[in-house]
Amino acid sequence: MNTIGHLFRLTTFGESHGTAIGGVIDGCPSQLKLDFDFIENELNRRKTAQAETASQRCEPDAVEWLSGLFDGITLGTPIAFMVRNEDCNPSDYGALKDVYRPSHADFVYEQKYGLRDWRGGGRASARTTLPIVVAGAIAKQILKEKDIKVFAEIVYMGDAQQAQKEGDTVGGIVKGRVIGLPAGLGEPMFGKFSAELAYAMFSIPAVKGFEIGDGFALAKMKGSEANDAFVNKDGKITTLTNHSGGIQGGITNGNEVVFRVAFKPIPSISQPQQTVNKAGEPCEIAIQGRHDVCALPRAVVLVEALAAMVTVDEMMLANKL
Structural domain boundaries in the chain: 3-317
pLDDT value of position 266? 92
10 Å Cβ neighbour count for 62?
11
pLDDT value of position 119? 84
What beta strand segments (E) does 158-309 contain?
A: 172-179, 207-212, 230-233, 236-239, 247-248, 251-252, 257-263, 273-276, 282-285
DSSP states of 43-77 as a string? HHHT-SSSSTTS--------EEE-SSEETTEE-SS
Is the domain covering 3-317 a CATH 3.30.300.180 domain?
no
* Burial label, 132 (beta-carbon count in 10 A; 0-12, 13-18, 19+): buried
Phi, psi (rounded to 5 degrees) for 204: -80, 130
pLDDT value of position 276? 96
10 Å Cβ neighbour count for 272?
10
Per-residue model confidence as pLDDT tens for the chain (321 residues): 899 999 999 999 999 888 999 999 999 999 999 999 999 999 999 987 567 776 776 778 899 999 999 999 999 999 999 999 887 776 767 778 899 999 999 999 999 999 988 887 888 888 899 999 999 999 999 999 999 999 999 999 999 999 999 999 999 999 999 999 999 999 999 999 999 999 999 999 999 999 999 999 999 999 999 999 999 999 999 999 999 999 999 999 999 999 999 999 999 999 999 999 999 999 999 888 778 899 999 999 999 999 999 999 999 999 999
CA 203 to each of CA 1, 187, 225, 284, 314: distance values in angstroms, whole numbers, following the listed order: 11, 21, 33, 30, 18
Closest CA to 21 of 68, 78, 67, 85: 85
| Cα–Cα distance measured from residue 174 to residue 244, given in angstroms and rounded to the nearest whole number | 18
Q: pTM for the complete prediction?
A: 0.94
How is residue 228 annotated by DSSP? -
Q: Is 311 helix (H, G, I), strand (E, B) or coil?
A: helix
| Cα–Cα distance measured from residue 145 to residue 97, given in angstroms and rounded to the nearest whole number | 48
* Burial label, 290 (beta-carbon count in 10 A; 0-12, 13-18, 19+): middle
